[in-house]
Amino acid sequence: ELKVEQNPLFLSMQEGKNYTIYCNYSTTSDRLYWYRQDPGKSLESLFVLLSNGAVKQEGRLMASLDTKARLSTLHITAAVHDLSATYFCAVEYGNKLVFGAGTILRVKS
Amino acid sequence: NAGVTQTPKFQVLKTGQSMTLQCAQDMNHNSMYWYRQDPGMGLRLIYYSASEGTTDKGEVPNGYNVSRLNKREFSLRLESAAPSQTSVYFCATNYPDRELFFGEGSRLTVL
């Protein structure tokens, strides 16, 4: 059974600084997804990582995938308030997605 | 283009009552899913349907039933609601090997 672990589960960030969220998973998979969720809202797809070494960037967010280490990272550059949300990684397993518990990000001025 | 539509958005039930959550998509996707979201636990898969006419159990299927009515619609039924089923329920769809597209969620409280 696939297990997906995110850490940290809560991250208080200062504006302008850099941070990284980690997503580890327990079973081989070549596909990993990152989602963002604002409070009381649905989930929005951020990145789709489909192979080992995949790197995707959008604005201040950059995601990467190392399938050999079973690890994905979501790097935040120069945090701004608009990035405050909950971020989920999800790993594909048997045509289904298994989600991590989520990382709550809060950006302080 | 509505994407994925869930009804109702909010519902309060008493223990033992039954209800059905409806999901409809206009994205022409074959695969549809029901997840529940609880604080600190991410999203957990209840049931999914890879195509019209097929359904399979996910991680937490107990207490739920589903119907894939046609390609567009996938409903989730609680036959006898329990307080442990208080949650936010999300319907999602996708093409194979692609990201999920989610509905807005249905917030269910069981008293």
Q: What is the pLDDT of residue A32?
A: 95
Cross-strand partners of A107: A13
> Contacts of residue B43 in chain A, CB cutoff 8 Å?
43, 88, 90, 99
Q: Which of A42, A51, A86, A92 is best to mutate for the B interface (most B CBs within 10 A)? A: A42
Amino acid at B78: L
Q: How far apart are CA A14 and CA B101, in angstroms?
A: 31
B51 pLDDT higher than 70: yes
- For residue B60, the chain A residues in CB contact (below 8 A) are none
Confidence check: pLDDT of A101 > 90: yes
For residues A53-78, average pLDDT: 95
Over 70: is that where the pLDDT of B82 sits?
yes
The pLDDT of residue A64 is above 70: yes
pLDDT given at position B41 = 83
Name the β-bridge partners of A85.
A105
Res. B1 pLDDT band, cuts 50 70 90: low
Higher pLDDT, A104 or B41: A104
